[in-house]
Each structure stands twice: as structure tokens, then as C-alpha cells.
Structure 1
């Protein structure tokens, strides 16, 4: 039973970090948008409101709101209730993660010396071309390890899906509690599995970071 919980935890986490990364990149570009009407930057305002909302409200509340919104969508009645809950959980967790990934992308890009962009523009490249061809290939080496660390946080955050009845690790522990009448042991087993997942991911991120640094030194 616990292994099914691990599988669902990983499914939620992997999909959430992928979607969170895609949304995070969009949020970064909205946050740094140069589109302006006078002194008003509408896209920056949208990004600011989104970031502050995600950071300033509990993840649990975000999961519950996502569930209500998904349930209200036109085709939700055609989906099984557990699928609606799964979609809502992934949506909330990925959106929450995206605001932190946007900051990771910003830090990664700013780690590239400013002169690189100036040199690219002096060669006739547009801003977007310089970002794509010059800046991002260098920034990605700083971004990827940090996203790996965010993935560890997402694995732990996936436990919030428990409130919607998703049978991930935390929910599985509660089911085992009810079946065995043991209060502590199922929770400790669940905690051990979370520890194994996050520790393994942390070691993998560290290994990847060392490999990237080694490739830079050659």
C-alpha cells in the first residue's frame, strides 16, 4: 500500500515541478516585462499580484481553492472525483512552486555578467536572441541545481494532496492507521519514505552540480 502511495507522490511531484518550471519562466518574463503605458507596467503588476498571492497564502488553502475551481469547470462532471482532486492538487502545487522557480530563474540569469548581454547587443543581436543564444545557456547551469532543490520541496509539499483524498504517502499512512489501529507506526513509515525520497534527490542534485562545475573547469 505504501508503494502505491510513493508512486502517486512521485507522479504529483514530477508533473508539478515540470509545470511549475514552465509557469515560473513565464512569471519571470512578466516580472521583467518592459511593456509600459506611461509609468504603469501592467504585466509586472500581474506578476507581482500573482507572486504575493502565492507567497502570502497557505498551500493548503490554495489546494482547496483549486479543487473548487476545477470542480466548477464545464467538463468536471464527466471526470471521476479522484481525477478532479488530482488535477486540483497538481495545479495548486505547481502554481505555488512557480513563484519560487521564477526567482531561481532571475538569480540564474543575473549570475551571468552584464557585459555578456551588452556584447551580444553590440553584435546586432536582439534582446530575445541574446537571451536564447548567450545568456540562458550559461544561466542554466545555475538554474538546474536550484530547481532540483525546489523539487525536494515539492515532494514534501505534495502531502497537501491528502486533504482532497489523494492516496499519496500521507493519506496512505492515515488509511493504514485506520486499518491497523496503530497511531504512530504508519506515520513513522511514511516519514521514512519521505526522507528516502528527499535525501536521494538531494544527493542527485549535489552530484549534478559537481559535474557541472567540473565541466566548467575543463
Structure 2
């Protein structure tokens, strides 16, 4: 009972800290002195976040082997940056993280075909509507006679992108259908073409872009009963940034006055044709190469950092002093008890309230901290596997506890746990792909970019699978060789 009381006190303190931390995030995201425009001008850069998997609003082209964000939304923020007299810096991440980025100060604006719903307006400010798209469904052309309209989708699976207006509308009006939510539009199209869903809810320009570039798809009308204003796209900003909102509205007014939107749409169409001219995977080799280098960089640094931190945590955990063992036990339990995705988001957005950490650094830190918890347990088990007689022998030789660990216990422990450490390295390589959610250009991120650019759902997946297999197979063989050498010695 006494131990339970201590545990309850610890849990209460932990939840209190989490509550205070999240409260701080909420306050920092909603309280702003309105110096937003002046801050941007002083910095000389307008920071914008988007999710480039939504043609013709935003997508990427392969320009001289390098990725470049293009589309209607990109032209709009270029216009705003020009009107402000500053440079434009675009950061890519998942759609669901866009408004979080402006709330936590990672960006000044979020643009991505965002519908300013009442729920979103509670946590962010929005510009005027700059585009009214309308709602449609994409279906396979082979099923066009079967699914002629929205009513025909009763009892069917309908795909929508997570966190979008289309998902809200489907849940509200298609109660006789099963909604299937996915983070990426490219995943939805692949699900449609492989008959995992019967239809995909999209905005009309997006649907038209896919139909124009994929002869196997067709659009059917959506008969949602909604106001026109609820189907429009707007630019998201942090609460209280009134001067920035006014500036964005002035640029939008000028775009409408000069009738620039048709020009932007035509430009996006030209870029889309560029992407579909050569959709071979060899044409996009630079994308996969860049993704591979980032994946390996994150994995190597995370494993090195994880081993160092894991050793420290293991020694703390086996310490007889509770002031050392309790923090280590708590850390390991919290990290192992929460998904890595949540940890990545907390490091990038949560710590971003205090210090602006680049996405790559945040990804490395998050994967390192996660790996350290598992390495800690591996090393602790390795130390426990060393015969107690070894410790007694070191004492008889007059070695201190530190020298005993350093020269006798740990070397034997590492020899015992080498296979487990190798498996952890391989796991880190595969699991590090989660950092793509915050825009780190690893293999999975580049995979989604190529899929969005080429309208090819399966080929990029096969390429990335092959790359991961070659890495892990080579690493496994190398670790097995070293393990054999160690056992022989």
C-alpha cells in the first residue's frame, strides 16, 4: 500500500506537469501582440506551411532534379510575400499539422485548400475566401454506371482526407456509408484504384486534376446541402494576427480585382503536364536519393545517441539511489507507453513554443529519445546477464565500482546484447519514417511526393520498399558477421 501511495503521488505530479505544459502551449498559441506584419518585415521572410499533395492547389514538380512547390496556393502566397516586400519560405508537412504550425509559431501562415470551418475558427484566424471549389466524388471509371450520384454510395466505403471538410461532410450526410479517413490524398486515390473504397470525396478542382491525368478515374457530383462559404478555401493564421490577416485580405482583393485566379489555375495546369511527361521512377532518382540520405542520417545519429543515453538510463535504473532510479524508470515507462508519432509532434510543436527547432533536428531528437528507452532495457538486461561472480572477482582485485562496470561488466554485457542492439538499429531505420509527418524529407516523405507528382500509386512504393530491404538486409548480414567474430574471439 505504501508503494501504491508513492506511485499515485508520482502520477498526480506527472499529470500536473503535463497539464501545465499543455496549458502553456495553449496560451502561447492564442495570446499575441499584433506585431505580426512588422515581425515578418524585420525578419525579411514570410514563413508558410502547406501540404503539397493536393493538385492543383499545391503540389511539387521535378525541376532540374530538385523539388519545387507549385500550384494555385503557392502563387497566392508568392503574391502576399511580394506585397510585403519579403522573401517567401515554404515548409511542407501533413495537412493535419498545418494549423498547429501557425498556432505554435512555426509559421506565419498555413495554406492548403483549408476550409475555415467554425471549429477551426475557434483556434485560428482566417483570411477572406480566395477560392470556391465545390464538392465532388472520384470513382473508378469502370464503376461509373454503378455509382452515378451520391445516393448510389449508400452502404459503400467512402474515402476522405483526415481533418478536411470532406471528412466532416461525409460523416454528417453519408450516415449510411462507411467513412474511411487517410492522411494523404495519394493514399486515398490508391485505395480507390485498388477497390478499397468505392469513392473519394474531394474538391472539384482537385478531382478534375486527377481525372485529367488518370483516364481510369471519373467525377460524380456531391449533393451536400451546404452554404457556398463553407466550401471555400482561406489562409490560416494564429489568433490575434489582425495586421497579417488585413495584409492577406488586401492581396486577395487585388488578385480578384486583377482577375489573376484564372492565370494561377492555368499555370498550375502547365506544371501538372510537366509532371506527367515523364513518370518513370528513374526520372525521380534524386528524390529517392535525398530521402535515403536523410533516413540514414537520422538513423545513425539516433542509434549513437540512443546507446549513449540508454547506458546512462540503465545505470540510473539499477542504482540503489531512488533519486536516480525513479526518473529513469518514469522516463522509460512514459516513452514505451506512448506512440512515437505523438513524441515527434510534442518535440517539434511542444518544444517549438520555447525554442524554434528545425524539423530535421526535432526528428533526430525524438527518434533518439525513443530509442534510448528501449536501449536502456536492453543494456539493463545485458548487465543482469553477466555472472555475479565477475563482480565479486573485480572486488577481490581491488577495482572500484566504476572500473568494474567500465572494464569488466559492460564489455561482457555488450557482447551478450549485440544481437538485440542490432535489431534496435534496424527497427530505428524503419520506424524513423514517422518523422515525415513534420516535413522531414526522408524516404517516406519523398515517396508521397513522387506519388502526388506522377499520379502513380504503386511504383514509388515498390521502389522505397526495395531501398529499405537492401539497407536492412545488408545491415543484418554485417551485424551477423560481427556477432560471429565476437563469439569466435
- TM-score (normalizing by structure 2): 0.40
Q: Which residue of 2 aligns with 1:44?
A: 325
- Partners in 1 of 2:327 and 2:310 — Cα distance? 13
Q: Which residue of 2 aligns with 1:15?
A: 301
> Is the radius of gyration larger for structure 1 or structure 2?
2
Where do residues 1-218 of structure 1 align in structure 2 (5 Å cutoff)? 1-35=287-321, 41-74=322-355, 76=356, 84-215=358-489
Identify the structure with the greater helix proportion.
1
Q: Which runs of 4+ in 1 moved over 3 A?
A: none
Cα deviation for residue 150 of structure 1 reads 0.7
Cα deviation for residue 130 of structure 1 reads 1.1
- Partners in 1 of 2:406 and 2:299 — Cα distance? 28
Larger RCO of the pair (alpha carbons < 8 Å, separation 6+) = 1
- Partners in 2 of 1:49 and 1:68 — Cα distance? 22
Aligned length: 203
Identify the structure with the greater strand proportion.
2
Deviations 1:16-37 (A, max 9, x none): 00111111011101101122xx
Q: Which residue of 1 aligns with 2:133?
A: none
- Partners in 2 of 1:169 and 1:22 — Cα distance? 26
State the SS of the aligned residue for 2:386. coil
State the SS of the aligned residue for 1:125. coil
Tell whether the 8 Å contact from 2:348 to 2:363 is kept in structure 1 after alignment.
yes
Deviations 1:186-209 (A, max 9, x none): 112111211111111111111111
- Partners in 2 of 1:176 and 1:133 — Cα distance? 50
- Partners in 2 of 1:29 and 1:72 — Cα distance? 32
- TM-score (normalizing by structure 1): 0.88
- Partners in 1 of 2:423 and 2:481 — Cα distance? 12
Deviations 1:41-64 (A, max 9, x none): 122111111111111100100000
Q: RMSD between aligned alpha carbons?
A: 1.4
List runs of 5+ in structure 2 lacking aligned partners: 1-286
Tell whether the 8 Å contact from 2:318 to 2:380 is kept in structure 1 after alignment.
no
Cα deviation for residue 138 of structure 1 reads 2.0
Cα deviation for residue 69 of structure 1 reads 3.4
Deviations 1:110-155 (A, max 9, x none): 2221101011112222211211122122222223332221110000
- Partners in 2 of 1:34 and 1:2 — Cα distance? 49
State the SS of the aligned residue for 1:166. coil
- Partners in 2 of 1:128 and 1:146 — Cα distance? 24
Deviations 1:144-177 (A, max 9, x none): 3322211100000110111011111000000000
- Partners in 2 of 1:50 and 1:139 — Cα distance? 22
